[in-house]
Structure 1
Amino acid sequence: MAESWTTSEDGLVWRFTLRRDARWSNGEPVTASDFVFSLRRMVDPRHGAPYATLLDPILNAERIHKAAEGVRVEDLGVSAPEPGLLEIRLERPTPHLLELLAHQATLPVHPATADRPGRMAARVADWVSNGPYVLKDFVPSSHIRLDRNRSFHAAADVRIETVISYPISDAAVAARRFLAGELHLTTDIPTDQIATLRGRLGAQLRVSPALGTYFLLLNTAKAPFSDARLRRALSLAIDREFIAERVWAGTMLPAYGVIPPHIGNYGERAELDFKAASPLEREDEAKRLMAAAGYGPGMPLRLELRYNRSDNNRRTIAAIAEQWAAIGVETSLIETDSAAHFAHLREGGDFDVARYGWIGDYSDPLTFLFLFRSDNTGFNVGRYADPQFDALLKLAAGEADLARRAAILREADSLIVRDQPWIPVLHYSHRNLVSSRLAGFAPNPQGAIPSRFLSFRP
């Protein structure tokens, strides 16, 4: 939407000049006031937006979404001096601001229709957007249909007229539909079929690095998971190499830290100190820690492990439960669909241990570390709280020098690795089946696949 931007010498004021041909799907112009409305709406505590913290570098944003006294939504540091000019004032210099503003949560919404009552599925007819596609049909648990937006400034360059997305939780079903020619692109592959599919499909099977980590999060607000010794024992007992190679067919990397490789604005990542230890050494230490925490023969640790339904998750969780059994843990598995699983966690439902995953919203360590802030009620569902960690993140937020900022974040990273409120298991890869007819597919660590740039080969 912005064709250019400038920054003040002190880094506190950014000015964005909008495209003159930017239009909403109903033909209305997109103006700077639309961005002001949308950003204010995002931090308005009445909406409870889970990504509100993304805007914390903006003047007054944090105070607003925390409902501090004496500050109004209108006090957010955003303004529209002209219809085509958006001004953003910051609390502190933020060298990665463009990464934050490129996140989907900051996209403008249409002021006149954004807050109309009703679920999306019932509002298709009056849904107004400003991207290359418009919502044409939405049937929950069935499909979402998008049609080309003829008001989009580059509509002539959008080659695919209609995009239909299907929510398929079973990767094997998606693979069968791909092989039958019903799908042109999938976002997962059944790991037990990777060798077969690679032999059959060749270059149509794509594996690329992802900016993400597969976790087990622990409810640190309740015993016994508030005990760091027990959390370390559970982590020690997981054979990450076995899971990466045997369960995920070598398409994932063993994870010994929260932050994945190839992250931007960072240096050496903090990793668990037992990475070089043998499986036997890890198991012995895990048993000692379990005994110190009060568990052992005749006194097993019984826990519930929740996970969202998929073939790959089911195999991973089963392997972990078996590995935990070796140190005296009896695991009850609770499988639900993804919507129910994440709603349960997000809404404060009780749990012992739960599968979780995170794909970085932008290439910066903060996109992972912010998950552990004690005041991040939207994502810190394990209720981890460490004042020292919070203080380090606050210190990093005020540091304009990228090298010094990285060193501060590395210290915060090491606290998470020490405490293990979330156990890192694997670093993600993107695993796609891509039709040979489809052109323009460009993998990237964030996994964004803009349909705008895809086309069909003749």
Structure 2
Amino acid sequence: MKKANWLLLVLVLALSMFLAACSGGDDSDTGSDGGDDGGDGGEESSGDSEQVLNLMESAEIPTMDASMATDAVAFQWLGSTTDGLYRLGLDAQPEPAIAEDHEVSEDGLNWTFNLREDATWSNGDPVTANDFVYAWQRAVDPDTGSEYGPYMLGGVIDNATEIADGETPVEELGVEATDDYTLEVTLEKPTPYFESMTAFGTFLPLNQAFVEEAGEDYALEADTLLSNGPFMFTEWNQGEGWTLEKNEDYWDADNVQLEQINVSVVKETSSGVNLYNSGEVDRTGLTAEFVDEYRSSEEFRVEEEPTLFYLKMNQENEILSNVNARKAIQMVIDRQSMVDTILNNGSVPGVGDIPHNFTSHPETEEDFREINGDLVETNKEEAQELWSTAKEELGIEEAEIGYLGGDTETSKNLDAYLKAQLEELEGLTVNVQAVPFQERLDRDTAMDYDLQNSGWGPDYIDPNTFLNMWVTDGANNKTGYSSEEYDSLIEEANDELALEPVERYENFLEAEKILIQDDAVIAPLYQRATAYLWSSSVKDVGVNPMGADFNYKYAYKE
């Protein structure tokens, strides 16, 4: 990010905040969007209904520049306005977009994408292979300053890492337009999940002439954006909301039924509920205090997501550099009470770094989470013992730690709960700082925090999307964690074992145990589900496990 995030923080609402893409993010969205209600894939006529969808987000879009996006809000609307080589369909599987098809060499290193010739940008320019070459080169160019470019392309596209490090010219990136409609991609190593990666926001094309002409103003307002996807921005009022309209020149416009999408920035859940009840919006996310009130409604629904939330712990902080202190923080939090009472929306306790029902063992087909089981538990007595040991090792009696949280209503509720849980550790004081979403992103990047409530949603369908985050100096690590053993397992899984699926999976299982059980790098909190009030007239909104959280291409209103 897909494409939040996510990411990313707080009561479960919709996939709309923090580090990307994919990411996951601030779990405080008052109206991000729901799921497929079992419609017929858009084939049913929408009749004479006004095809206007009214939505809410709990945060402004930080950027619509695909090279710079890192959060779920940006990836959602990039995915709604721009087609990459592939996009995810209603079944959450890659379907042709700008690429009609592709071929892969026997060794898995060379991919040839054959592009459609009827795709155009909203300014009339054709979408060509060079638009992908330019976008991918720009994403890894050190002068661009992209965070996700080196993270997503590095170690995947040939020479991407060396270019991002300033050691190789950007022209040496393993991507070439052999003609206007043929894209040749050379991978650094076989990458089993590469097709799904091409649907992610960082891999979207860019119109070079338009971007360079807009200069520093590119992607900051509706007039400095281009679309080649189902919808296009027609209005963007910073801090208030934005409007998208159907892109009549879209290559697949015949399958797009919505004429307009209106999005308002609404931070308070109560305001969202009022807007829904007055018929001004088509859905709203529900926080715990509203779930019981509306649970019996025919328009109440819960969507499970492969998105994880956890406490990131900055190991550059003296207290958090101590592994026993981190383990104490893991153990003192009552996750079951948190999901039952504070979230109250179908979320389940987080017990590792890989979510339930995300990937399965290639041989036994057993779920990853079932194989590794619960890697954390609530044990307040043992937590106090670990905390006492940590204080002895650190030579302190009391400790004070900052906590970076969100400024929305739901964020503040969850952050207050976690502060109370953590302060059960004798002598610990937790100072919560409630800041806007963009500031959290900036401070995470700068590692300007002690503890932070963070989240992550997958960027592609593979355990690596979660576990690769924590390698030494990883672009989204931002904890100071470094382990040769952990790095070795991840590197081997993605190199020597890339075409050995069973052995590769075993490496990931072992790596997760080191990350959570042995080194306590993060304190898992919960796997998100989102409770909504969702108008029954809204049909065929797809739910994506990565990139853009939701697919509106086939949506319509009865």
Distance 1:72 1:120, change over 3 A: closer
Would you say the 8 A contact 1:271–1:414 is kept in 2?
Answer: no
Q: Report what 2:209 is aligned to.
A: 112
> 1:110·1:129 contact (CA, 8 Å) conserved in 2?
no
| 1:429 aligns to 2:529 (yes or no) | yes
Specify the SS of the correspondent of 2:242. Answer: strand
Contact 1:209 1:445 in 2 (8 A): no
Matching residue of 1:46: 143
Q: Residue 358 of structure 1: CA displacement? A: 1.0
**Is this contact kept in 2: 1:248–1:312, CA < 8 A?**
no
- Out of 227, 239, 250, the residue aligned to residue 141 of structure 1 is 239
- The answer (yes or no) to whether the contact 2:300–2:531 under 8 Å persists in 1 is yes
- Given that residues 359 and 368 in structure 2 are in contact (C-alpha distance below 8 angstroms), is that contact kept between their aligned partners in structure 1? no
**Which one-letter code corresponds to 1:198 in the other structure?**
R
The amino acid of 1:419's aligned partner reads: D
Q: Quick one: structure 1 residues 374 and 456, their matched pair in 2 at CA, closer, same or farther if it must change by over 3 Å?
A: same
Q: Which of residues 24, 39, 42 is equivalent to 2:121?
A: 24
Identify the residue that residue 61 of structure 1 maps to in structure 2: 160
Residue 302 in structure 1 maps to residue 400 in structure 2: yes
Aligned equivalent of 2:437: 338
Tell me if structure 1 keeps the 8 A contact 2:312–2:521. Answer: yes
Is the counterpart of residue 81 in structure 1 residue 178 in structure 2?
Answer: yes
SS for the counterpart of 2:433 is: strand
Matched residues in 1 for 2:188 and 2:360: separation?
A: 20
Would you say the 8 A contact 1:265–1:365 is kept in 2? no
Q: 1:434 to 1:47 in 2, by over 3 A?
A: same
* Residue of structure 1 equivalent to 2:100: 3
SS of the equivalent of 2:489 reads: helix
Aligned to 2:75: none
Instruction: Name the larger-Rg structure.
Output: 1
Q: Could you tell me how far 1:108 is from its partner in structure 2? A: 0.5
Question: Of residues 335, 343, 359 in structure 2, which corresponds to 1:240?
Answer: 335
2:488 aligned partner, one-letter code: A
> Which 5+ residue runs of structure 2 have no aligned equivalent?
1-97, 362-366
Secondary structure at 1:405 match in 2: helix
Q: Which amino acid aligns with 1:39?
A: W
What do the CA deviations read for 1:379-431 (whole angstroms, capped 9, x no partner)?
22222222222222221111222222111122221211121222111011133
**Residue 261 of structure 1 pairs with residue 356 of structure 2:** yes
| 1:132–1:155 Cα contact (<8 Å) kept | yes
Distance 1:156 1:273 in 2: 49
2:267 equivalent in structure 1: 169
Structure 2 letter corresponding to 1:160: L
Looking at both structures, which has the greater relative contact order when contacts are Cα pairs under 8 Å and sequence separation is at least 6? 2
- 1:171–1:119 CA distance, 2 compared to 1 (3 A): farther
Change (3 A) 1:26 1:243: same
Cross-structure match for 2:45: none
Determine if the alignment matches structure 1 residue 456 to structure 2 residue 557.
Answer: yes
Extract unaligned runs of 5+ from structure 1.
none
Query: 1:175 touches 1:190 (CA, 8 Å); kept in 2?
Result: no
More displaced 10-residue stretch of structure 1: 102-111 or 436-445: 436-445
Which residue in the other structure is 2:22 paired with? none
Q: CA deviation at 1:325?
A: 2.5
Name the CA shift for 1:402/1:133 in 2 (closer, same or farther; >3 Å): same
Whole-angstrom CA distance in 2 between matches of 1:166 and 1:389: 43
Distance change >3 Å, CA 238–CA 126, structure 1 → 2:
closer
Q: Is the deviation greater in 364-373 or in 251-260?
A: 364-373
- Equivalent residue for 1:150, pick from 248, 259, 262: 248
> Which of 182, 193, 217 matches 1:96?
193
Q: Take 1:20 and 1:290, find their aligned partners in 2: how far apart are those partners?
A: 63
Determine if the alignment matches structure 1 residue 361 to structure 2 residue 459.
yes
CA contact (8 A) 1:208 1:444 kept: no
1:178 to 252, 273, 276: 276
| Paired residue type of 2:294 | L
Q: Aligned partners of 1:306, 1:424: CA distance in 2, in Å?
A: 16
Label 1:271 to 1:332 Cα distance change in 2 as closer, same or farther (>3 A). Answer: farther
Paired residue type of 1:451: Y
Letter in 1 for 2:106: E
1:9 deviates by 0.9
Aligned residues: 444
Q: With the length of structure 2 as denominator, give the TM-score of the two structures.
A: 0.76
Q: Which residue in the other structure is 1:412 paired with?
A: 511
* Preserved contact between residue 34 and residue 110 of structure 1 (Cα < 8 Å): yes
Offset, 1:272: 5.1
CA deviation vs aligned residue, 1:185-217 (integer Å, no higher than 9, x gap): 33x322211111223x32x22212111111111
Q: How far has the Cα of 1:444 moved from its partner?
A: 4.3
Q: CA RMSD in A?
A: 2.0
Q: TM-score with structure 1 length normalisation?
A: 0.92
Deviation at 1:172, TM superposition (A): 2.5
Deviation at 1:114, TM superposition (A): 1.9
Distance (whole Å) between structure 1 residues aligned to residue 164 and residue 116 of structure 2? 30
Alpha-carbon distance in 2 for matches of 1:290, 1:262 = 34
